[in-house]
Amino acid sequence: MAQKVVLKVLTMTDDKTKQKAIEAAADIFGVDSIAADIKEQKLTVIGSMDSVAVVKRLKKVGKVEMISVGPAKEEKKEEKKEEKKEEKKEEKKEEKKEEKK
């Protein structure tokens, strides 16, 4: 099962340290995608990897804090629910138009 690990890398202040953090996370088996934000010093790693292994590897780059660990598909479920609600509204509108005719 894929999981989403959000970390705060306190030493990630410029492009050089950002690249080092991304390369360190990319070496871990099971990582699917990596996103880095220098302003917030956040590194988001998605995949079927061990979250402890991610932290251990990134500690070699600098000081790391784990913010959250959770399922990777959390956002997609919310989007699907919204789409279903919109489809139901459209179907009701179409039914009302047909009834009026």
The pLDDT assigned to 94 comes to: 65
Angstrom distance (rounded) from CA 2 to CA 38: 24
Angstrom distance (rounded) from CA 73 to CA 41: 23
pLDDT digits (tens, 9 = 90+) for 28-81: 999 999 999 999 999 999 999 998 999 999 999 889 999 999 888 755 544 555
Burial 53-69 (b: 16+ CB within 10 A, else e): ebeebbeebbebeeeee
pTM of the predicted model as reported, rounded to 2 decimal places: 0.68
Residue closest to 8 by CA, chosen among 68, 72, 75? 68
The pLDDT assigned to 19 comes to: 93
Contact 82, 57 (CB under 8 A): no
pLDDT digits (tens, 9 = 90+) for 18-35: 999 999 999 999 999 999
